[in-house]
Amino acid sequence: MSVGLWIQIILNGVAMGVLYSLPALGISLIWNATGLFNFAQGDLLTLGGYVMLTLFGMMKLPYIVSFVLTLAVMGLVGYFISRIYFYPMLEHRVHPQIILIGTVAASVFIRNLILVIWGTMPTTFKNPFGTKVMNLGGIFLMPHVIWILGIAAGLLILLQYILRGTMVGTAMRAVAQNQTAAWLMGIRNDRMIALTFCMSTAIAAVSGILITPIIPLTPDMGGLISVKAMAAVLIGGLGSFSGTLIGGIAVGVAETVFATLVTPTYKDVFIFLVLVAFLLARPGGIFRAHVSEKV
Protein backbone atom coordinates (compact mmCIF):
# COMPACT_ATOMS: atom_id res chain seq x y z
CA MET A 1 0.00 0.00 0.00
CA SER A 2 1.16 3.47 -0.75
CA VAL A 3 2.02 6.03 1.91
CA GLY A 4 -0.86 8.26 0.80
CA LEU A 5 -3.36 5.49 1.36
CA TRP A 6 -1.94 4.85 4.81
CA ILE A 7 -2.24 8.51 5.76
CA GLN A 8 -5.79 8.42 4.48
CA ILE A 9 -6.69 5.38 6.60
CA ILE A 10 -5.03 6.77 9.69
CA LEU A 11 -6.67 10.19 9.34
CA ASN A 12 -10.07 8.52 9.03
CA GLY A 13 -9.24 6.48 12.11
CA VAL A 14 -8.19 9.55 14.05
CA ALA A 15 -11.46 11.32 13.15
CA MET A 16 -13.45 8.30 14.34
CA GLY A 17 -11.26 8.06 17.43
CA VAL A 18 -11.81 11.69 18.36
CA LEU A 19 -15.54 11.01 18.29
CA TYR A 20 -14.99 8.18 20.78
CA SER A 21 -12.75 10.41 22.87
CA LEU A 22 -15.40 13.06 23.44
CA PRO A 23 -17.94 10.87 25.28
CA ALA A 24 -14.97 9.15 26.93
CA LEU A 25 -13.85 12.51 28.29
CA GLY A 26 -17.31 12.94 29.74
CA ILE A 27 -17.05 9.58 31.48
CA SER A 28 -13.63 10.56 32.79
CA LEU A 29 -14.78 13.94 34.10
CA ILE A 30 -17.74 12.43 35.94
CA TRP A 31 -15.55 9.68 37.35
CA ASN A 32 -13.13 12.25 38.71
CA ALA A 33 -15.83 14.36 40.26
CA THR A 34 -18.03 11.65 41.76
CA GLY A 35 -16.39 8.24 41.46
CA LEU A 36 -19.35 7.22 39.35
CA PHE A 37 -18.99 5.43 36.03
CA ASN A 38 -21.67 6.74 33.72
CA PHE A 39 -23.02 3.97 31.51
CA ALA A 40 -25.59 6.33 30.01
CA GLN A 41 -22.95 8.41 28.20
CA GLY A 42 -23.42 6.68 24.84
CA ASP A 43 -27.16 7.18 24.95
CA LEU A 44 -26.81 10.84 25.87
CA LEU A 45 -24.66 11.06 22.74
CA THR A 46 -27.42 9.50 20.66
CA LEU A 47 -29.97 11.84 22.22
CA GLY A 48 -27.77 14.77 21.18
CA GLY A 49 -27.72 13.47 17.63
CA TYR A 50 -31.50 13.20 17.58
CA VAL A 51 -32.04 16.68 19.03
CA MET A 52 -29.81 17.93 16.22
CA LEU A 53 -31.89 15.93 13.75
CA THR A 54 -35.04 17.71 14.96
CA LEU A 55 -33.50 21.19 14.94
CA PHE A 56 -31.39 20.97 11.79
CA GLY A 57 -32.97 18.21 9.73
CA MET A 58 -36.64 18.88 10.45
CA MET A 59 -36.94 22.52 11.55
CA LYS A 60 -34.31 23.64 9.04
CA LEU A 61 -32.49 26.02 11.38
CA PRO A 62 -28.99 27.10 10.29
CA TYR A 63 -26.25 24.62 11.23
CA ILE A 64 -24.45 26.82 13.74
CA VAL A 65 -27.68 27.83 15.49
CA SER A 66 -28.91 24.28 15.83
CA PHE A 67 -25.45 23.13 16.96
CA VAL A 68 -25.42 25.64 19.82
CA LEU A 69 -29.06 24.99 20.70
CA THR A 70 -28.44 21.23 20.85
CA LEU A 71 -25.50 21.80 23.16
CA ALA A 72 -27.61 24.02 25.39
CA VAL A 73 -30.48 21.51 25.52
CA MET A 74 -28.18 18.58 26.26
CA GLY A 75 -26.27 20.58 28.85
CA LEU A 76 -29.57 21.24 30.63
CA VAL A 77 -30.45 17.56 30.42
CA GLY A 78 -27.13 16.67 32.04
CA TYR A 79 -27.59 19.32 34.71
CA PHE A 80 -31.03 18.04 35.67
CA ILE A 81 -30.02 14.39 35.61
CA SER A 82 -27.44 15.25 38.21
CA ARG A 83 -29.67 17.56 40.26
CA ILE A 84 -32.69 15.29 40.54
CA TYR A 85 -31.08 11.89 40.30
CA PHE A 86 -27.41 11.25 40.85
CA TYR A 87 -26.43 13.92 43.33
CA PRO A 88 -29.08 12.99 45.92
CA MET A 89 -27.94 9.38 45.70
CA LEU A 90 -24.31 10.36 46.11
CA GLU A 91 -25.16 12.67 48.96
CA HIS A 92 -26.91 9.89 50.87
CA ARG A 93 -24.01 7.52 50.27
CA VAL A 94 -26.06 4.92 48.46
CA HIS A 95 -23.99 1.81 47.69
CA PRO A 96 -21.90 2.40 44.53
CA GLN A 97 -23.26 -0.77 42.95
CA ILE A 98 -26.80 0.61 43.21
CA ILE A 99 -25.75 3.87 41.57
CA LEU A 100 -24.05 1.86 38.84
CA ILE A 101 -27.32 0.02 38.23
CA GLY A 102 -28.97 3.44 38.22
CA THR A 103 -26.78 4.62 35.33
CA VAL A 104 -27.55 1.42 33.41
CA ALA A 105 -31.26 2.02 33.97
CA ALA A 106 -30.84 5.62 32.83
CA SER A 107 -29.16 4.34 29.68
CA VAL A 108 -32.07 2.01 28.89
CA PHE A 109 -34.55 4.77 29.68
CA ILE A 110 -32.95 7.28 27.32
CA ARG A 111 -32.59 4.67 24.56
CA ASN A 112 -36.25 3.75 24.72
CA LEU A 113 -37.33 7.35 25.03
CA ILE A 114 -35.59 7.99 21.70
CA LEU A 115 -37.25 4.90 20.26
CA VAL A 116 -40.71 6.07 21.31
CA ILE A 117 -40.22 9.65 20.13
CA TRP A 118 -38.26 9.21 16.91
CA GLY A 119 -38.91 5.58 15.90
CA THR A 120 -36.52 2.80 14.99
CA MET A 121 -35.72 3.70 11.38
CA PRO A 122 -32.08 4.67 10.82
CA THR A 123 -32.12 8.35 9.89
CA THR A 124 -29.62 10.99 9.02
CA PHE A 125 -29.58 14.64 8.04
CA LYS A 126 -27.90 16.48 5.22
CA ASN A 127 -24.13 16.45 5.53
CA PRO A 128 -23.44 20.18 6.10
CA PHE A 129 -19.78 19.88 5.11
CA GLY A 130 -20.56 18.68 1.62
CA THR A 131 -20.13 15.24 0.12
CA LYS A 132 -17.46 16.02 -2.46
CA VAL A 133 -14.23 14.09 -1.87
CA MET A 134 -11.25 16.40 -1.46
CA ASN A 135 -7.88 15.69 -3.02
CA LEU A 136 -5.00 16.93 -0.89
CA GLY A 137 -1.93 16.06 -2.88
CA GLY A 138 -2.95 12.47 -3.55
CA ILE A 139 -4.74 11.94 -0.26
CA PHE A 140 -8.49 11.59 -0.71
CA LEU A 141 -10.58 12.68 2.25
CA MET A 142 -14.20 13.51 2.94
CA PRO A 143 -14.50 17.14 4.08
CA HIS A 144 -16.22 16.11 7.32
CA VAL A 145 -13.06 14.31 8.48
CA ILE A 146 -11.18 17.62 8.46
CA TRP A 147 -14.10 19.42 10.11
CA ILE A 148 -14.42 16.81 12.85
CA LEU A 149 -10.74 17.11 13.67
CA GLY A 150 -10.95 20.92 13.67
CA ILE A 151 -14.08 21.18 15.81
CA ALA A 152 -12.85 18.57 18.28
CA ALA A 153 -9.49 20.32 18.63
CA GLY A 154 -11.23 23.64 19.26
CA LEU A 155 -13.53 22.01 21.81
CA LEU A 156 -10.66 20.38 23.66
CA ILE A 157 -8.77 23.67 23.90
CA LEU A 158 -11.94 25.36 25.19
CA LEU A 159 -12.43 22.57 27.71
CA GLN A 160 -8.87 22.83 28.95
CA TYR A 161 -9.30 26.57 29.29
CA ILE A 162 -12.52 26.18 31.31
CA LEU A 163 -10.98 23.56 33.59
CA ARG A 164 -7.62 25.23 34.10
CA GLY A 165 -8.16 28.91 33.52
CA THR A 166 -11.45 29.88 35.13
CA MET A 167 -12.72 29.99 38.70
CA VAL A 168 -15.55 27.55 37.94
CA GLY A 169 -13.12 25.06 36.46
CA THR A 170 -10.81 25.34 39.43
CA ALA A 171 -13.76 24.76 41.75
CA MET A 172 -14.78 21.71 39.71
CA ARG A 173 -11.29 20.27 39.99
CA ALA A 174 -11.26 21.01 43.72
CA VAL A 175 -14.47 19.00 44.16
CA ALA A 176 -12.93 16.18 42.17
CA GLN A 177 -9.90 16.16 44.44
CA ASN A 178 -11.51 16.32 47.84
CA GLN A 179 -15.20 16.95 48.37
CA THR A 180 -15.05 17.74 52.05
CA ALA A 181 -12.17 20.18 51.71
CA ALA A 182 -13.88 21.85 48.78
CA TRP A 183 -17.07 22.14 50.82
CA LEU A 184 -15.14 23.78 53.64
CA MET A 185 -13.67 26.28 51.18
CA GLY A 186 -17.19 27.41 50.35
CA ILE A 187 -17.65 25.51 47.11
CA ARG A 188 -21.11 24.14 46.47
CA ASN A 189 -20.48 20.47 45.69
CA ASP A 190 -23.96 19.88 44.31
CA ARG A 191 -23.63 22.71 41.80
CA MET A 192 -20.15 21.72 40.71
CA ILE A 193 -21.12 18.09 40.21
CA ALA A 194 -24.20 19.18 38.28
CA LEU A 195 -21.97 21.41 36.16
CA THR A 196 -19.64 18.50 35.51
CA PHE A 197 -22.59 16.43 34.32
CA CYS A 198 -23.74 19.36 32.22
CA MET A 199 -20.34 19.69 30.58
CA SER A 200 -19.82 16.02 29.91
CA THR A 201 -23.29 15.64 28.41
CA ALA A 202 -22.69 18.61 26.15
CA ILE A 203 -19.37 17.15 24.96
CA ALA A 204 -21.06 13.83 24.25
CA ALA A 205 -23.71 15.70 22.27
CA VAL A 206 -21.00 17.28 20.09
CA SER A 207 -19.84 13.79 19.25
CA GLY A 208 -23.42 12.75 18.52
CA ILE A 209 -23.83 15.66 16.12
CA LEU A 210 -20.54 15.12 14.31
CA ILE A 211 -20.89 11.36 13.99
CA THR A 212 -23.97 11.46 11.77
CA PRO A 213 -22.15 11.84 8.44
CA ILE A 214 -20.25 8.62 9.30
CA ILE A 215 -22.91 6.53 11.05
CA PRO A 216 -26.68 6.99 10.58
CA LEU A 217 -28.69 7.63 13.74
CA THR A 218 -30.43 4.64 15.32
CA PRO A 219 -31.84 4.53 18.85
CA ASP A 220 -29.42 1.81 19.96
CA MET A 221 -26.25 3.07 18.32
CA GLY A 222 -25.30 4.48 21.73
CA GLY A 223 -24.66 0.97 23.02
CA LEU A 224 -21.78 0.17 20.72
CA ILE A 225 -20.34 3.69 20.83
CA SER A 226 -20.42 3.77 24.60
CA VAL A 227 -18.57 0.46 24.75
CA LYS A 228 -15.93 1.98 22.49
CA ALA A 229 -15.84 5.08 24.65
CA MET A 230 -15.40 2.93 27.74
CA ALA A 231 -12.62 1.07 25.96
CA ALA A 232 -11.02 4.43 25.19
CA VAL A 233 -11.28 5.52 28.82
CA LEU A 234 -9.88 2.29 30.19
CA ILE A 235 -7.09 1.93 27.64
CA GLY A 236 -6.03 5.53 28.12
CA GLY A 237 -6.37 5.62 31.88
CA LEU A 238 -9.55 6.56 33.69
CA GLY A 239 -9.49 10.08 35.06
CA SER A 240 -6.65 11.33 32.90
CA PHE A 241 -7.51 14.00 30.32
CA SER A 242 -4.76 13.33 27.80
CA GLY A 243 -4.95 9.60 28.46
CA THR A 244 -8.61 9.52 27.47
CA LEU A 245 -7.90 11.50 24.33
CA ILE A 246 -5.08 9.21 23.28
CA GLY A 247 -7.07 6.12 24.23
CA GLY A 248 -9.95 7.21 21.99
CA ILE A 249 -7.66 7.92 19.07
CA ALA A 250 -5.91 4.58 19.60
CA VAL A 251 -9.27 2.77 19.52
CA GLY A 252 -10.36 4.63 16.39
CA VAL A 253 -7.10 4.04 14.50
CA ALA A 254 -6.82 0.41 15.58
CA GLU A 255 -10.37 -0.24 14.49
CA THR A 256 -9.95 1.41 11.09
CA VAL A 257 -6.62 -0.28 10.38
CA PHE A 258 -7.96 -3.67 11.43
CA ALA A 259 -11.07 -3.18 9.28
CA THR A 260 -8.91 -2.33 6.25
CA LEU A 261 -6.18 -4.91 6.67
CA VAL A 262 -8.03 -7.91 8.10
CA THR A 263 -11.81 -7.80 8.03
CA PRO A 264 -14.43 -5.19 8.95
CA THR A 265 -16.72 -7.93 10.34
CA TYR A 266 -14.69 -8.60 13.45
CA LYS A 267 -13.37 -5.10 14.15
CA ASP A 268 -15.52 -4.73 17.28
CA VAL A 269 -14.38 -8.12 18.56
CA PHE A 270 -10.79 -7.00 18.00
CA ILE A 271 -11.32 -3.83 20.05
CA PHE A 272 -12.85 -5.79 22.92
CA LEU A 273 -10.03 -8.28 22.95
CA VAL A 274 -7.52 -5.43 23.08
CA LEU A 275 -9.54 -3.90 25.91
CA VAL A 276 -9.64 -7.11 27.92
CA ALA A 277 -5.93 -7.61 27.37
CA PHE A 278 -5.34 -4.08 28.63
CA LEU A 279 -7.58 -4.54 31.66
CA LEU A 280 -5.76 -7.69 32.64
CA ALA A 281 -2.22 -6.63 31.88
CA ARG A 282 -2.31 -2.96 32.77
CA PRO A 283 -5.55 -2.12 34.58
CA GLY A 284 -4.58 1.51 35.04
CA GLY A 285 -4.37 2.14 31.31
CA ILE A 286 -1.51 3.81 29.45
CA PHE A 287 -1.46 6.72 31.86
CA ARG A 288 -1.78 4.63 35.02
CA ALA A 289 -4.79 6.11 36.68
CA HIS A 290 -5.63 4.86 40.14
CA VAL A 291 -8.07 2.02 39.73
CA SER A 292 -7.99 0.31 43.07
CA GLU A 293 -10.54 1.69 45.47
CA LYS A 294 -8.92 0.81 48.75
CA VAL A 295 -5.86 -0.59 50.52
Region binding another protein by CB under 8 A among candidate stretches 10-18, 49-57, 143-151, 228-236: 228-236
User: What is the x/- site pattern for another protein, positions 7-46, by CB under 8 A?
Assistant: ------------------------------x-x-------
The CB density around residue 149, as the number of other CB atoms within 10 Å, is 15
Region binding another protein by CB under 8 A among candidate stretches 126-134, 142-150, 206-214, 223-231: 223-231
Applying CB under 8 A, which of residues 101, 136, 153, 181 lies at the interface with another protein? 101
Beta bridge partners of 134: 141
Beta bridge partners of 135: 140
| 234: contact with another protein by CB under 8 A | yes
Region binding another protein by CB under 8 A among candidate stretches 14-22, 48-56, 123-131, 221-229: 221-229
DSSP 263: -
In angstroms, what is the minimal distance from the CB of 6 to another protein? 27
In angstroms, what is the minimal distance from the CB of 201 to another protein? 17
In angstroms, what is the minimal distance from the CB of 194 to another protein? 16
| 224: contact with another protein by CB under 8 A | yes
CB 33 within 8 A of CB 175: yes
User: What is the x/- site pattern for another protein, positions 161-190, by CB under 8 A?
Assistant: ------------------xx--x-------
Buried-state track 103-115, b at ≥16 Cβ within 10 A, e below 16: beebbeebbeebe
In angstroms, what is the minimal distance from the CB of 3 to another protein? 32
Q: Look up residue 262 and give its amino acid.
A: V
Is residue 215 packed enough to be buried (19+ CB in 10 Å), middle (13-18) or exposed (0-12)? middle
Kindly give, in sequence order, each residue whose CB lies less than 8 Å from that of residue 87, ignoring residues fewer than 6 positions away: 190, 193, 194
Buried-state track 20-44, b at ≥16 Cβ within 10 A, e below 16: bbbbbbbbbbbbbbbebbbbbbbbb
Applying CB under 8 A, which of residues 88, 122, 130, 138 lies at the interface with another protein? 88
DSSP 214: T
- Reported for 57-60, long-range contacts at CB under 8 A and 24+ positions apart, including other chains, are 57/123, 57/124, 57/125, 57/126
Closest to another protein by CB, 120 or 160: 120
Which residues are at the interface with another protein (CB under 8 A)?
A: 37, 39, 85, 88-89, 91-98, 100-102, 104-109, 111-113, 115-116, 179-180, 183, 220, 223-224, 227, 230-231, 234, 265-266, 268-269, 272-273, 275-276, 279-280, 283, 291, 293-295
